[in-house]
Chain A
């Protein structure tokens, strides 16, 4: 061969130094280190404050916290509420997942959205909506219940469901647990190869035996993951117990911690930390059980994409029953509470009977013209937008860094980012308060300290999701970009990030909703100088009217719904390349 076309781009810049970590890795590492520093510093500060008093190591705060006797009851209550709600959430979430993924009861898009509907209704709004429906005397559904029973001649004082009772509390916890269990179980059922079940039937097992001996064990890791996720979140849940448990003195640990820090002076930080430690122990225990399930490896490996799923026919009776159950579930958990909130805010008060005269927007006008409320709403919206965006960018960059650096630094960064998740949200918030409130940062009462807290609280969950998203982007795609002469920044911007976006929009929406309605950080860090809507609702629950609360919650729910739907739309739009050929518009786009 005598001729060769010359490449234009062979490196002719002389000898380079050994590939010193490229700028992108350095920036990633820097970001990761800052995040880890804040995390570790807050936890260490809290632990230090707890065990070191006047320069001496002591266990006194612990002893005090336990000696009080105020600990055992909230602990028992938390165990009951979280434990039972987890069991119910697994049952309901599992059933919904099975209906949707493995039976002919599926109803298209509705089926995909329905189980996740409670995500749109922030817990604080859901609790109030639930109270409006199921308050023992004035709740509209309970009133309907008395009326229906009255028609058949039964006069009773027993409500259908008492929102302020144990049952009510557990029911609302369950409603918010279901999306988490569903989210984990449904994909597992979708991916499971039907031939496993078919094999069981071929060898003579009936439907029930197949479900219990084959299907359930196959998705056990997903069930464990969903249950763990919910226990993790439920333990730190403040809003629901605060709003529904307080009237009958059903105290849970998380609101107890808040009240130690906010409703008494001076705040009992060490007591709060001692209680937080208990939550941490519970979460670590749950995590331990979950990892035992994973390690037992007794579950069938879920097949790759090549596996078939055979739909189970529920029959002439079963199919409509399953569908009605799904519709009732969405009605009961999201739609009715949402409508209840809307009704009260339009009616201007909690009317004793449902009348549709004199409905007006005056409550909304009043709420928005209240300077404090308006200010809080604007703050919340901005904080949620910024926090959600920062969180997914951080999570993506860190997940990418961790996946590439196989050394000890990568593993430490990974652990450091996920720490706030395991030690419990409240410890982190207290730590951030201790570090940033005073010297040298003086961020107390600012929006910035709220932003830091929101980001730190959302990062662990987001980073778990980002890890999965990063793992889904093959390394060879980045290598091909480098091979094409692109810098690491260009590779990230043009190849990796666009591919992560479909996996990250969901995370973005969940961080947005969670931040918008946050009470955990807000109750400790927000105030009159840096109001947020969650803080406002909390204050209204003590001093305000139901109409105002309902109005604020309605606004909250509307923004949440817009964010979730917007994210879903955006997710589909930016990932159009993943859709079927038939669905993709074959446009005659010209040029670059």
Chain B
């Protein structure tokens, strides 16, 4: 990819936001979207969400299907009208339920990459990419300007060779890149992504993620990116917004969300976890003691946890340690070794206690133990405890 070819011109008309970098580019306030089911009951797909995006920031909306992430994105894009709340883009109110403001999509000055790509099959790649420019969104363009800009962006995303083909005649990865070119050609300050990588295979997905990150660095657009894939979120996001049932479960950098999840929901959705349920039997300054099916578990003192509470206890596979001899310290349990699952760079070992199954991450060259019984231990600092959701 020739990422540099467009750089000089971009730099020329780029504007520095040094003094104003705190002003949000996109500001969502108390956004709520109800749907009415066929039987008349109201459901809130998005429930009172507030969110700010700085210029050039990459925000990922993460959650399982049905958590409201796509609805939120479509409300920002104006493809769906929210029931309550306010949306501002570049200091302009584009939606305000109370004041009955709803700026049509085409005048919101944003771009979008659709899950299905939504390339128009009746237009060539060139015409698809030129469309936003011809729709006069960015002022009048001469034919020559349009041709230049389309060819530039297509070279950058690597589809200049199929410029005069129809979308149905190019590969899925190329279609994905054309969709990207179309979203970037008008150089909107805000680009929406609706699960754009869900239709390509794992390898292309990885490639496109790297290219997308590079493009974002180069063009400096702010992105709101919807996905259910935690790898997308981890690799692309400046901030991850984990959504649960229309609410924000947690906002933070990928690292924060991964290492300090605020709820069991976030912990189990971002990264893999081993999960136990138990009752708090003791609490001191250093931590809590939980009685579980595995035995006693020591964990960090979670907020609002007291003796007698039911809690979810979790730890990541890479925080479990296996040994054939009994280790020292707390949190050690005798388990039954089941099997090793090789995952290329590392391996997962499956151990069981009673009928419960646990995963521990080990090196790829891990040698299976000589006997059935192994010890598993976890540092108490690595054990997370959350009140059981009512």
Chain A residues with CB under 8 A of B101: 15-18
What B residues does A494 contact at CB under 8 A?
A: 120, 123, 131
Contact assessment for B164 and A479 in the assembled complex, using a CB-CB cutoff below 8 Å: no
Contact status A4-B102, CB under 8 Å? no
Within 8 A of B (CB), among A251-287: none
A586 to B168, CA, bound (A): 13
Q: Which residues of A contact B105 (CB under 8 A)?
A: 479, 482-483
Docked CA distance A13–B124 (Å) = 33
Chain A positions 495 through 523: 1 when the CB is less than 8 Å from some CB of chain B, otherwise 0: 10011000000000000000000000000
Report whether A499 and B121 are in contact in the complex, using a CB–CB cutoff of 8 Å: yes
- Residues B101-126 near A (CB distance < 8 A): 101-112, 114-116, 118-124, 126
Nearest CB in chain A to that of B222: its residue:
A4
A483 touches B106 (CB 8 A): yes
Q: A9-B139, A18-B101 are in contact. Are A577 and B187 (CB under 8 A)?
A: no
Chain A residues closer than 8 Å to B192, beta-carbon distance? 483
A residues less than 8 Å from B100 (CB atoms): 17-18
Of residues 1 to 30 in A, which have CB atoms within 8 Å of B's CB atoms?
Answer: 1-13, 15-19, 22
In chain A, what residue has the closest Cβ to B165? A586
Q: Which residues of A contact B219 (CB under 8 A)?
A: 5
Q: Is B190 an interface residue (CB 8 A)?
A: yes
A residues near B280, Cβ cutoff 8 Å:
none
Check A4–B93 contact: CB distance below 8 A. no
Binary per-residue interface labels of chain B (26-64) against chain A in the complex, 1 for a CB within 8 Å, 0 otherwise: 000000000000000000000000000011110000000
Is B164 touching A588 in the complex (CB atoms < 8 A)? yes
Rounded to whole Å, the gap between the CB of B191 and the closest CB of chain A is 10
A residues within 8 A CB of B137?
Answer: 8-9, 484-485
Complex interface: chain B residues within 8 A of A206 (CB): none
**Interface SS of A by simple majority:** loop
A592→B138 contact, CB < 8 A:
no
Task: Report how far A5 CA is from B188 CA in the complex, Å.
Answer: 8
Shortest distance from the beta carbon of B237 to any chain A beta carbon, whole Å: 13
Contact status A11-B94, CB under 8 Å:
yes
A482 touches B104 (CB 8 A): yes
Q: Is the CB of A485 within 8 A of B118?
A: no
A487 touches B120 (CB 8 A): no
* Cβ–Cβ contact B131 & A484, under 8 A: yes
Instruction: Render B295-321 as a binary contact track against A, CB cut-off 8 A, 1 for contact.
Output: 000000000000000000000000000
A15→B168 contact, CB < 8 A: no
Q: Is the CB of B143 within 8 A of A591?
A: yes
Q: Does B189 contact A (CB under 8 A)?
A: yes
Q: How far is the CB of A56 from chain B (nearest CB, A)?
A: 43
- In the bound complex, residues from chain B placing their C-beta under 8 Å from that of A468 are none
Range of interface residues on B (Cβ < 8 Å): 35 or more
Asked whether B349 is an interface residue with its Cβ less than 8 Å from the other chain, the reply is: no
B310 to A: closest C-beta gap in Å: 44
Contact between A9 and B103 (Cβ–Cβ < 8 Å)? no
Interchain CB contact under 8 A, A477 and B103: no
Q: State in angstroms the CA–CA spacing of A477 and B118 once bound together.
A: 5
B166 touches A (CB below 8 Å): yes
Contact of B90 among A10, A18, A480, A575 (CB under 8 A): A10
**A584 to B109, Cβ gap below 8 A?**
no
Q: Does A490 contact B (CB under 8 A)?
A: yes
Inter-subunit contact A5/B187 (CB<8 Å): yes
Give B189 Cβ to nearest chain A Cβ, in Å.
4
B71-105 interface bits toward A, Cβ cutoff 8 Å, 1 = contact, 0 = none = 00000011101000000011011100001111111
Q: How many A-B residue pairs have CB under 8 A?
A: 195
Partner among B15, B21, B79, B89 whose Cβ is within 8 Å of the Cβ of A6 = B15
Q: Chain A 133-157, CB within 8 Å of chain B: the 1/0 string? A: 0000000000000000000000000
Residues from chain B with a CB closer than 8 A to the CB of A355 are: none
Q: Who on chain A is nearest to B93 by CB?
A: A15
When the two chains form their complex, are residues A1 and B57 in contact, meaning their CB atoms are under 8 A apart? yes
Residue contact A7 to B188, C-beta cutoff 8 Å: yes
Q: Which residues of A contact B11 (CB under 8 A)?
A: 3
CA distance A8 to B15 in the complex (A): 12
What residues on A are CB-neighbors of B102 within 8 Å? 16, 18-19
Residues of A within 8 A of B135 (CB): 481, 484-487, 490
Give every chain A residue within 8 A of B114 (Cβ-Cβ): 476, 479-480
In the complex, whether B220 has a CB less than 8 A from a CB of chain A is yes
In the assembled complex, A581 has its CB within 8 A of some CB on chain B: yes
Judging by beta carbons under 8 Å apart, are A3 and B166 in contact?
no
Scoring A481, A483, A498 by chain B CB atoms within 10 A of each residue's CB, the highest score goes to: A483
Docked Cα-Cα span, A12 to B108, in Å, equals: 9
Minimum CB–CB distance from B74 to chain A (whole Å) comes to: 8
Binding site for B on A (CB under 8 A): 1-13, 15-19, 22, 474, 476-477, 479-487, 490, 494-495, 498-499, 575-578, 581, 584, 586-589, 591-592
Question: Besides A477-B120, A485-B135, A584-B165, 16 other CB < 8 A contacts?
Answer: A3-B11, A4-B14, A4-B220, A6-B189, A10-B108, A11-B107, A11-B109, A16-B107, A17-B100, A474-B116, A484-B182, A485-B136, A495-B122, A575-B122, A577-B166, A592-B143
Residues of B bordering A, CB below 8 Å: 10-11, 13-18, 21, 54-57, 77-79, 81, 89-90, 92-94, 99-112, 114-116, 118-124, 126-127, 130-132, 134-139, 143, 146-147, 164-169, 182, 186-190, 192, 219-222
Q: Could you give 19 example pairs across A and B, Cβ below 8 Å?
A: A2-B21, A4-B56, A4-B221, A5-B10, A6-B15, A8-B139, A8-B187, A9-B139, A9-B188, A15-B93, A479-B118, A480-B118, A481-B120, A484-B111, A484-B182, A485-B135, A485-B186, A588-B164, A591-B147
Top 6 nearest A-B pairs (CB, nearest first) are: A485-B137, A10-B109, A8-B138, A1-B56, A484-B132, A9-B137
